Structures are given as structure tokens and as C-alpha cells.
Structure 1
Amino acid sequence: MLFCYSPSLHDEFPERSTGLLHVQGIRTTADVTESVARFTRLAAQRLTSGTEADLPEIQAWRRVFSRMGCKPTQYRCAPEALLRRLRKEGGLPSVHPFVDLCNAVSAAFAIPVAAFDLDRIAEGLVVRRATGTERYDSFSGEVERPEPGEIIFADAQCRAHARRWTHRQSSYSAVSCETHHVLVVAEAMHGTAALDVGQLITSLHQTILMLWPTALVREVSA
């Protein structure tokens, strides 16, 4: 099992659509500059007639965050934060070639795309509500405990690899220079989510194979 949802979340969020890629053979030597620029241009085009808050994909996640008890403008889903930065600063941050590609694709589709180092995850990820006992390693170096009932990505060792669903990943399983084995997760809640997630996964799959031609890439089910 690489990834699944708790039964209660299946029932609570029936509008959810998910796409997964299992990738082996990632290296930092790939030049993603042109691909990142192409997807970033697509993202910028979506902002020409308004802000990220006007996009149906973002509006759907804002409704989900409200249902989770989170203030949507305080805790933004990942693509909203990326698009907001693109609109205000004119570009996206550069972290790691694979992460940069995923961020650009996420912004272009306005859909959350998370990339996890599978070698840092115990027995796959379960999207579930937290008990409050899980450990979350922040990028600031602090250890946090998700609030009971908060939706997290958890593994078998009670580690939280993402908080507030699509808001923030953990530093513990973030893709780094040592990462070679990745799970990519794309999730959407808007009306055409199934179609758009499918297109995103296909586009990302093809781009990964172009940039990392020796990588093994396969689509898996949630």
C-alpha cells in the first residue's frame, strides 16, 4: 500500500479526485528549466483575468478548508500559495529539480501536487484525521503535534507527512538531493476534478520521462 484514505474521508468528501505517480530513479542532474518555464507561463496566463482566489480549483479547496475548521486565507492550499507568489513576485521558488517541476505543474493546473520521499515513509501514507499524538517535522526545525481531528498524511510510525491536508508538507519526507524514490500525489475537489487530475497526471508523467529518461514511472490507484 502506497497511499489511501480513511473510510470516513471517503464518505465526507465524495467530490475528491486523486492521481498518483510512483517514480524511481530521480536525480538532481536533470535540467528542468524549459519545462518549469512552460508550466509557469500557463499558470501566469490563468491569472491574467483575476487572482488565484477566482479559480474554481482554488475555490473548491477553500470550501474544504472551511469545512475542516481552517480559515482559508490563513491556511492556503499549496497551489493557491504558489499562484499568489507568482502573481506578487513574478516567479516560483527553486528548491530541487523534481520539486520545481511539480510546483510549476501544480500552479499551471491550480491543483495540489505533493512529492514525498518514499524511503522516509513507513508502510505508505494514509490520509486521515489526527489523534494529536503524531509527530510533524517542520521546515523551521521544530517538532509539532497536529491538532486532534486535523486531516493529515500519516504513516505507520505515527509521523505526519503533511498537515491540514494540502496546506503544508513535512521536512522529514521532503524530496532532497538524496531522494531517488518518490510518490507524487495530486488531489482536486472542483466540478471537473476527475478530468483535470487525469490530464495533470498524464502531462507530469510524460514530462518526467522526458527529463529523467531512465526513471521508472507508473500510475497507481488510491
Structure 2
Amino acid sequence: MSPEFTVADGVAEAFPQLRIHLIAAASLRNGEPWPKAAAAMDELEAEAAQGAWTALDAEDPRIATWHAAYRAFGTNPKRMRPSVEALQRRLAKSGRLPRITPAVDAYNLVSVRFGVPAGAFDLAALEPRVDIRFAADGDGFTPLGEPDVREAPKPGEVVYAQGAEVLTRHWNHRDADATKVTAATTRAVFVFDSVGDAAREAVDAAAERLKELLSEGAAVTDHRVLTAADRTVRLDAEGPQ
């Protein structure tokens, strides 16, 4: 399957500087160690311990643009933080990032290192079309790690969705349980979001760095970029046959 990702007209109009990287990977070996990615994680944690790395403050454009975006669609970013800010605060407080699976650890590492939100979907759980749109009445969401919980996203917040099933809440605050990347995932799409030109260099660099890390345990089959001008892309999720 080659899924199509589309930015709704209203979202593109509200956030004309949005830039979303989509990286498809196949032959994912997510149940075995990735030593290079693990070493990069250890290095970042060592920098945090030594004070060589510090979390971005709310005035940094990479965070400030997300705070402004969240407020624009009715979410309080102090209560529901953009994923990158939550991860950075976690590392600053505890000195460690979570270890989940190598692929998830890799995109979390890159998110924190470059200061841009990241996520991923198991391609086997995706339908042919995913929309980045405003939530609407009738949408439903099951949070990551809480398969028995059902939420109704607030109409107007930006979400990734397939049909009425929401895959992320508050754009990138939290992912859905059904599409999570696990040790058994063999094909996935990785996502980096930005909403301001000030983050363009960082989000582009983050995507390239993740591809380097993925090369240790997967085959990157495609890499596309969504913008307000180019609102639809179809990802090659299979690669050469």
C-alpha cells in the first residue's frame, strides 16, 4: 500500500508556513539492537548531564511557533505540550529519555536533538488516506498505551486522521494506540512537523539525521515533504520489488 497524506485546505490557510516531512521505511528490524542509535542516545544524555545540552525555552522560535499554533486552534500549550517540548523537559528533569524500541528511540532522539516534533505510524495499521485536518464532531481517539480509553477530540484542534479515527491529538501532542510502532512493526512512516520558517532548517536537518539512523535497521523507501502549497503526497511504502 502507498498511503496518501493530505493537508486540508483550512489547515494550510491557517498555518501557511507548515512543513511536514514524511519518511517511509520497510524491512524494519525493530526487535533487535541498533548500536549506533543507542550510542547517539547515550551521547545526548551525557551532554545533558554535563550541561552541554539544555532544553529549549518557550522563547525559542521552534517552541514559540508551536505554542502559537496550539493557541490558534484552542489548545493550552502549558497543559497539552507539543511532543518535543514534553520530551525535552523530561530529559532535562530526569537525565534520560525513554527506551521503547530502536526506531521509536531514534525519532525521539532526533526530535530532542533538533527541537522539532516527531512521530510515527505503523503502515500496516494505516488506511489508504491520512488527512491533516481540523477535528470534527463524531471523531474518536484512543490514546497510546490506553486501548480501553475513548476520547472525543475538541472540534477545531488539528489532528492526523483516517476517516473519523483520529491518529494524533493536538497535532502532535499524543499518538493513537492502534497505529503505534512496536517491535513487531516491519513498515512505518516517520513524521516531523514544523509551522514556522524559523524551524525550517531544523526540521529539514532532523529528517536527514533520522534517515541516517534508520539505515542501521531499516530500508528508507521514500521521503516526501508536505507544505501549504503542496498539500498532497503519496508515499512509496514498499520500495523496489
User: Fold-level match, TM-score > 0.5?
Assistant: yes
- What residue identity is the alignment partner of 1:220? R
Are the counterparts in 2 of residues 125 and 155 from structure 1 also a CA contact under 8 Å? Answer: yes
- Number of the residue aligned with 2:91: 86
- What residue identity is the alignment partner of 1:221? V
Are the counterparts in 1 of residues 119 and 191 from structure 2 also a CA contact under 8 Å? Answer: yes
Q: 2:180 aligns with which of 170, 174, 178?
A: 174
- Number of the residue aligned with 1:150: 157
Q: 1:219 aligns with which of 197, 205, 223?
A: 223
Once the two structures are overlaid, the 10-residue window that deviates more, 135-144 or 176-185, is 135-144
Q: Could you list the per-position Cα deviations for residues 140-159 of structure 1 after superposition, in whole angstroms to 9, with x for gaps in the alignment? A: 23011212222111013x21
- Number of the residue aligned with 1:26: 28
Q: 1:120 aligns with which of 122, 125, 128?
A: 125
- What residue identity is the alignment partner of 2:150? V
Q: Comparing both chains, which one has the higher relative contact order based on Cα–Cα distances under 8 Å and sequence gaps of 6 or more?
A: 2
Structure 1 pair 200/51, CA: closer, same or farther in 2 (3 Å)? Answer: closer
- Distance in 2 (alpha carbons) for counterparts of 1:126 and 1:39: 34
Q: Could you list the per-position Cα deviations for residues 132-188 of structure 1 after superposition, in whole angstroms to 9, with x for gaps in the alignment? A: 2122112223011212222111013x2100011011111110101221111111011
Structure 1: any 5+ residue segments left out of the alignment? none
Aligned-CA RMSD value: 1.9
- Number of the residue aligned with 1:12: 14
- 3-state SS of 1:74 partner: coil
Structure 2: any 5+ residue segments left out of the alignment? 227-241
TM-score for the superposition, normalised by structure 2? 0.83
CA shift for structure 1 position 42: 6.5
- Number of the residue aligned with 2:138: 133
- 3-state SS of 2:79 partner: coil
